Amino acid sequence: MQTSPKRKAILVVDDNFSVLTVIKSMLETDDYDVLTARSAEVAISIAERIGVIDLVLMDVVMPDVNGPELVEKILATHPTAKVLFMSGYCETDMLPESVRRFGLLPKPFTSSRLRERIDHVLGTQLRASSAASATRF
């Protein structure tokens, strides 16, 4: 009997409920454990309670905190977590250095582009379903 690899846990942080819902649906289809937070307070609470976070997928611009500051707080608890920022504001010369260092997924994006970037950041293989799906939000 073959065992399946451990599911990866992804913390998605965005103040837009619709964006969180769509991303959660996309990633759960690919068998990720998806945790969502609409604020810095909730994201930190989740990070403190969860044993492992493999990836933090975070909006750069949040109303209560900026993404890079919040990521640093989460990485203090989960130093091995990978990070991928997303933003609708993609003037790269205006972005903080930490965003450029971790990587940026410009909004809007397709589900296949999201999966491609996550697979790249996590170092996993692309799934067959990602090539077939082109859901956009």
- When pLDDT is averaged across residues 38-62 and rounded to a whole number, the result is 95
Cα dihedral sign for 16, 110, 85, 126?
positive
* pLDDT for res 92: 55
74-96 tens-digit pLDDT:
999 999 999 999 988 765 556 66
* pLDDT for res 32: 95
- What is the domain partition of the chain in residue ranges? 9-127
CATH value of 9-127 in 2.60.40.420, 3.20.20.210, 3.60.9.10, 3.40.50.2300: 3.40.50.2300
Which residues of 51-109 form beta strands (DSSP E)?
A: 55-59, 82-87, 104-106
* pLDDT for res 63: 86
* Comparison of pLDDT for 94 and 131, the residue scoring more: 94
Q: Which residue has the tokens 């997928």?
A: 57
